[in-house]
Amino acid sequence: MTALLEPSSLAAQFDRLPPHSIEAEMAVLGSLMLCGDNDALYAETVNGLSKDAFFQTDHQIIFDVIVTLRRNAMNIDPITVRAELERRKLLEDVGGIEYLARIINMMPSAANGPHYAKIVRDLHLKRRVIAVANDALRKAYGVVDDPAALAAKLAAEMASLAAGSEITYQDAAGVVDDCVREMCEPDNAPKFRTGMPDLPCLKPGRVYVICGNSSMGKSAWGKELLRGLLANGHGVGMCIPDETKVKVGHDFTSAVGRIDRRAIETGRLSPEQLAAYLEHSDTVRKWPFWIEDNCFTLERVEQLAMIWKAKHNIDVLYVDYLQQLQTSALGKNASTVERVTYLARRMKRLAKELNLAVIEICQINRGNTNRPDQRPKLSDLRDSGELENQADVVIGLHRESYHQPQYGEDQHGPEYTEVLVLKDKTGIRNTAWVMRTEFQYMRFYSVDVLEQGNYWRNKP
């Protein structure tokens, strides 16, 4: 019989017998001792396993012995495992020769090892979920200074568990098949349509940075991008610590109905404008977006993204603006550069883990105002070069009227915003287009080739 050792530290946290399967654990150990020099089978069986994945402590000891032998390039079989257990003076603790024999007899073939390993992994995950939940319960019943921080920590821990430890990958044929499918079936390829001819789609797992000087129109242009995505039925989660939910609702309704934003802001709508507002607010009401303005920490943004993805299957996460977020992951003495670097890396990871297109509104420094050409550059991104490193696409916005008021709408005809692609990991960069801008309606319009050409020929 196997010796009854102390339960693992994880198992000790439960008030009832936690999920486990002694038989599956024995089957995994037997498979590993029988796989011989089949390296592929060994690797597939241990993928995502650690000794903590085993509920029974004697199984943890045997697994640790097997892994150590393999790491030292020694043969793994019942004889070598027994010898190593004897050397460690642990053979009797795990049940002796008789128990090793029982393990071997459980598995006439090593081929089913990966199947039983998945059972062990899944049960271990369930135990870890219960342990995290139990810990949260204990803390929640105690004195909690910041319940929101506790909830954010719980969400982060659960997200870490959901990510799992099993190593996954794809072979060349699978990658090429996906590429061919995307080319031959473009309508079925994973992408989110924007309605903008010059930026027709966003793709999941990518980060899009929209940058410019303060009051350049970044948020307005970002909402123009969202308006196209929403009109095409793509779900959007909006974290807007720099704005309010009501303001965004007004902006969307103003854009859809071409209702003067200043009249909305003052509440002095004419009867015709009010009727148009009520009509077009019904359009906005049906759009698939979810929004929160009380989200000043990265942990809160991550929590919201996970909830929106799970409940509403959003396609896009929008953050306005990124550098404003704080994080509890760094100490109080962390510099702004360290904080923004951490934010950029976490947002890229969030995009990939949740398969989202992430849009980040970012500020630039004012170094461009001292240059003859005041258009933004990558080096202008404020606080951290990691914003550029982690982004897949960086778009800079520029209006001549911002720096030179004489080029504004009232003085120089229609107002235009230059949209500059400062970085694109596909290799396309230094491209630009212009959009006619009507800030009173929160609208940006794509223009035809002739109007584009006239602008660039006559640009200041």
Q: What class does CATH assign to 190-457?
A: alpha beta
- Tell me the C-alpha to C-alpha distance, in Å, between residue 397 and each of 228, 230, 332, 416, 436: 18, 22, 33, 10, 13
Give the DSSP H/E element, type plus range, for residue 444.
strand 443-446
Angle at Cα 271 formed by Cα 266 and Cα 274, nearest 5°? 60
Q: Provide the β-strand partners of residue 381.
A: 364
Average pLDDT of the residues in 23-30: 94
Q: Is the pLDDT of residue 330 over 90?
A: no
Query: For residues 208 and 357, what is the distance between their CA atoms, to the nearest angstrom?
Result: 7
The listed range with the strongest mean pLDDT (91-105, 221-235, 358-372) is 221-235
What fold characterizes domain 11-135?
DNAb Helicase; Chain A (1.10.860)
- How much is the pTM? 0.73
By the 8 A CB rule, do 376 and 432 touch? Answer: no
pLDDT number for residue 410? 47
Q: CA torsion sign, 364 to 365 to 367 to 370?
A: positive
pLDDT, mean of residues 185-195: 81
pLDDT digit string, tens, across residues 360-413: 999 988 777 778 888 899 988 877 789 999 999 999 999 887 766 555 544 446
Cα distance between residue 328 and residue 288, in whole Å? 31
pLDDT of 384 reads 75
Residue 3: the pLDDT is 45
* pLDDT over 90 at 71, yes or no: no
Query: Average pLDDT in the 93-110 region?
Result: 88
CB atoms within 10 A of CB 248: 21
Secondary structure class of 357 (helix, strand, coil): strand
Q: When comparing pLDDT for 421 and 186, which is higher?
A: 421
Residue 401 near residue 361, CB atoms below 8 Å: no
Domain ranges of the chain: 11-135, 190-457
Task: Give the mean pLDDT of the chain.
Answer: 87
* 3-state SS class at 439: helix
Residue 2: pLDDT band by 50, 70, 90 thresholds?
very low
Residue 4 has pLDDT above 50, yes or no: no
Residues in the chain: 460
